[in-house]
Structure 1
Amino acid sequence: MKRIRFQQGSLRLYERAAGDQVWEYRWYETQLDGTRRRRSCIIGSRHEYPTDALAQKAVVALRASINAETPRAQIDAISFSTLTQHYREKELCEGGNKTFATIRTNEGYLERWILPRWSSYRLKDVKAVIVEEWLKSLPLANGSKAKIRNLMHAIFNHAIRWEWHDKNPITHVRQSAKRQRVPLVLNIEQLKSLLEYLKEPGKTAVLLDILTGLRVSELLALKWSDVDFENLELHVTRSISLQRVGPCKTEASQKPVPLDPELAEVLLLWRRRSPYPMDDDWVFASPASKGELPYWSYSLFRVYIRPALKAAGITGKVGWHTFRHSFATILKSHGEDVKTVQELLRHANSSVTMNLYAQAVTDIKRSAQSKVARLVFEPKKGNSE
């Protein structure tokens, strides 16, 4: 019996009557009567793909799709590289259900860590124990290793969905995401000292972050129309990363956030001072872009926050996420239950207990946030003013 193989097809460069050179991909398609018919399609021009290597890369996903309905024996030769390219084209594409930041992060993991090790492997040769040992050897934090493990798991799920593989070996790969070091958090006195040295708009941005726990991608994506001064709520409807606006990280992220009355007053004062106070303007619009975009997160941190940290004598690895961690830690240290903290931070949680909590801003969440606000707005110890 003749062995059935995974169809590779062929690629050629030819000149059309118009004089332009194009890449053509050719393959055979089996008809209902069992005969084979040659098929072809234009991949692109030589201008788009100047080398054979680039043209070959462009047909990887197409080749995988052509083989999607072939018998099991015909796809045994599919490599992890081929699968990954198809996953990229179908799942890591703009306009899909993943944010730009997620796409960029996953692409980084693929290029830096996953593909150099696994690209040449056939799918059936990727084994859980080998992957687990490889993850242990990587000079990365547990959180990053867990993300790599989860990305590989998603890629194999993609293979199962397209019926190129019948099981996911990564399911049995054990990898903890537990932090090896406790993240730095700032206490109330440190936060107050920092606020004393901050200038606008850094001061309002940090204060808003401290009292809401927003991710920086959500904080800088706020528009004035998202601030409901009447009902004292923030509506988080988008995020921004590398100046690209996209959806929020999770569905839970879009829950309304309570706005403390004193914090609302601070925002009103900033709106009056801001040259961009219209409803459709960014809350932290950048003058460099004439208000068309908000500040870059690293620029805002470098220009306003880092000098204030130094002046306040605060050392250690402080970043935007430190304020979110600090918010959660202060809440918990003042007796708030874990469920309330999870609601305020808008973490996705599928447990039955957490599903009992409504998406609306509840009195308990508002009261919890206001406790932190009282502590921040309270005069520093020893300050007579």
Structure 2
Amino acid sequence: MEVPYLGARSLDVGGGKLMPAAGALFKESFLSRPRYQNGSLKLMPRKSSASVWIYRWRETDEHGERQLRKQVIGTVTQYPTKALASSAIESLRLTINQQGFQRMAGPKTFSDLVNHYRSKELPEENHQRKTRKTKKNYEGNLKNHILPRWGSFRLRDIRSVDVEEWLDRVSLAPSSRAKLRNVMSTVFRHGIRWEWLGQHENPIAMVRVSSKRTRIPETLTVEEFLALLGKLPDRERAMGVVCATTGLRISETLGLKWGDIDFQTGKANVLRSVVDGAVGRCKTEVSQQPVPLDDLVLAELQTWRTITMYSSDTDWVFASDHAFGKMPVWAVSSLQKILQPVAKRAGITKRIGWHIFRHTYSSMLSEYGDDVKVVQELMRHAKINTTMEIYTHARMEKKRQAQSKVVDVLFGRERTMV
């Protein structure tokens, strides 16, 4: 139903009057309301075969324009009467209207789409799809960078070139800019999955951004590692030893309980991670693989177990005294209050974080390890490439040998040649 052009006249609505501007708004609102459409069904002749039933309807395309659509329902042989053909399109008609209503009720601005994405993909109580740390990073990128710039934009007004130019101006490291791009793309894909956008309506798919590091990650020399270790208190010393000789992320190290350490077979079962006081799953499925523990590391852990007040199998290995052992120590608190001040007193000028132990371990494995696949599995990276991941498996003993070489170098241990 078309609303006539009002010109300078007012419009009667329910006994009242609307001025021209209001009338225009009324027209837009009236026309944009979702309406149930029956469509039309016609029998169309065919020269080379029996006549066919054609069903026609209108739908809004990706540009917001109304387009005529049609679909062949069947031949007159299959459906001799219009009533039978009408019955055959009931399911199709219902689907078309449901999709239409869904599109009409969908988000209009990027901020609206982000809010829906948050409610479905980032709920606080659900950690099945994404870990707590990943959710925290997503929220930080959305709140601090993406929404202030793009939140008020209508979805189809966001253009690839504009986003690319914006990312070039953002004062962040290349890897951080790449993460902004990926988060925006994820939100658009969410809109596509909910059928508010067409399959090819992700403008971020064409955005180019480099994620190449601007500097090589810092690692510790053997001298720096020993100087730092010698000044750390017992708990942080044990944490440093585990991180530097297993490659565990700090969240996975804090997630260890004494029952996860198998002192007989010399390995640790990595079952969980702890981020900001919240217990969750590990970063990836590969991250949950057990890691070997060198004899020297096992001895270090045994020594710490005799010192700590929380030493039963169900206790956290690196329990927090402030939480009375109910939770492990917070990584950030331990870093800022202990690790960084100790590193400064030890004369280490590098940027110190718990992850520097993982980088040191990775660097030494590359230098002293003799099998790329062994290095990959010790680091518990997802894959080198699909072929190696599927067909190549490093044995525990071979991983132990490569790991022990790193321990030998770090602690100056000499082995007797057999």
Q: What's the secondary structure of 2:100's corresponding residue? A: coil
Say whether 1:110 aligns with 2:145: no
Alignment partner, residue 164 of structure 1: 196
Task: Give the match for residue 283 of structure 1.
Answer: 317
How many residue pairs were aligned?
323
| Match of residue 136, structure 1, among 168, 183, 188 | 168
1:195, CA displacement in angstroms?
A: 1.4
Please identify, of 211-220 and 330-339, the stretch whose mean Cα deviation from structure 2 is larger.
330-339
Q: Is contact 1:79–1:120 with CA below 8 Å preserved after alignment?
A: yes
C-alpha separation between the residues in 1 aligned to 2:243 and 2:408?
Answer: 15
SS at match of 2:244: helix
Kindly indicate whether residue 107 of structure 2 is the aligned counterpart of residue 91 of structure 1. no
One of 381, 386, 389 as aligned partner of 1:351: 386
Residues of 2 paired with 1:82 and 1:228: CA distance?
50
Q: Which residue of 2 aligns with 1:22?
A: none
Map Cα deviations across residues 223-274 of structure 1 (whole Å, 9 max, x no partner).
1111111221111111111101111111111111111121111111211221
Q: CA 1:277–1:293 in structure 2 vs 1: closer, same or farther (change >3 Å)?
A: same
Of 276, 300, 318, the residue aligned with 1:242 is 276
Partner of residue 231, structure 2: 197
- Which of these residues, 295, 298, 307, is aligned with residue 273 of structure 1? 307
| Mean CA deviation greater in 252-261 or 73-82 | 73-82
Instruction: Specify the SS of the correspondent of 2:234.
Output: coil
C-alpha RMSD of matched pairs (Å): 2.5
**Alignment of structure 1 residues 209-248 onto 2, 5 Å:** 209-248=243-282
Provide the residue aligned with 1:362 in structure 2.
Answer: 396
Letter in 2 for 1:182: I
Q: CA deviation at 1:75?
A: 6.7
For 2:410 and 2:349, the matched residues in 1 are separated by 20
Query: 1:257·1:361 contact (CA, 8 Å) conserved in 2?
Result: no
Structure 2 SS opposite 1:275: coil
Counterpart of 2:140 in structure 1: which amino acid?
Answer: G
Amino acid at match of 2:286: A
Deviations 1:266-309 (A, max 9, x none): 11121122110011100000111110111111222234322331
Alpha-carbon offset, residue 341 of structure 1: 2.2
Identity of aligned residues (%): 44
SS of aligned partner of 2:274: strand
Relative distance call for 1:335 and 1:137 in structure 2 (3 A) is same
Instruction: Assess if the C-alpha contact under 8 Å between 2:277 and 2:330 holds in 1.
Output: yes
Give, in angstroms, the shift of residue 73 of structure 1.
Answer: 7.1
Mapped to 1, the partners of 2:188 and 2:262 lie a distance apart of 44
Q: Which consecutive unaligned segments of at least 5 residues does structure 1 have? A: 4-27, 35-66, 381-385
SS at match of 1:306: helix
Residue 374 of structure 1 aligns to a residue in which SS? helix
- Preserved CA contact (<8 Å) 1:76 1:124: no
Q: How does 1:1-385 map to 2 (within 5 A)?
A: 2=2, 69-70=99-100, 74=104, 78-94=108-124, 95-96=126-127, 97-166=129-198, 167=200, 168-349=202-383, 351-358=386-393, 362-378=396-412
How big is the shift at 1:31? Answer: 6.5
Question: Helix, strand or coil for the counterpart of 1:70?
Answer: helix
SS in 1 for 2:233: coil
Question: Which amino acid is 2:211 matched to?
Answer: A
Q: Give 1:119 deviation, angstroms.
A: 1.2
Partner of 2:93: none
Q: 1:340 and 1:2 mapped to 2: Cα distance?
A: 71
Deviation at 1:29, TM superposition (A): 7.9
| Structure 1 residue 199 displacement after superposition | 1.9
* Structure 1 residues 264 and 126: CA distance shift in structure 2, 3 A: same
Separation (CA, whole Å) in 1 of partners of 2:332 and 2:178: 26
- Measured in 2, the distance between the counterparts of 1:194 and 1:68 equals 64
Q: With CA pairs under 8 Å and 6+ residues apart, which has the higher RCO, 1 or 2?
A: 1
Q: 1:217 Cα shift?
A: 0.9
After superposition, what is the alpha-carbon deviation per residue over 1:49-87, rounded to whole angstroms, capped at 9, x for unaligned?
A: xxxxxxxxxxxxxxxxxx983269747872211111100
8 Å CA contact retained: 1:68, 1:162: no
Structure 2 CA distance for partners of 1:76 and 1:217, relative to 1, 3 Å: closer
Q: Which amino acid aligns with 1:89?
A: S
CA distance in 1, matches of 2:320, 2:106: 53
1:379 Cα offset (Å)? 6.1
- TM, length-normalised to structure 2: 0.72
Unmatched runs of 5 consecutive residues or more in structure 2? 4-32, 40-96
Task: For 1:374, give the aligned amino acid.
Answer: D
For 1:210 and 1:172, locate their aligned partners in 2 and report how far apart those are by CA, in whole Å.
40
Alignment-mate amino acid for residue 79 of structure 1: T
Q: Give the distance between the partners of 1:239 and 1:346, measured in 2 at CA.
A: 14
Residue 108 (structure 1) shift: 0.9
Name the SS for the 2:279 alignment partner. Answer: strand
Q: TM-score, normalised by structure 1?
A: 0.78
How far apart are the structure 2 equivalents of 1:145 and 1:200?
A: 39
Q: Judge conservation of contact 1:286–1:295 (CA < 8 Å) in 2.
A: yes
**Structure 2 SS opposite 1:289:** coil
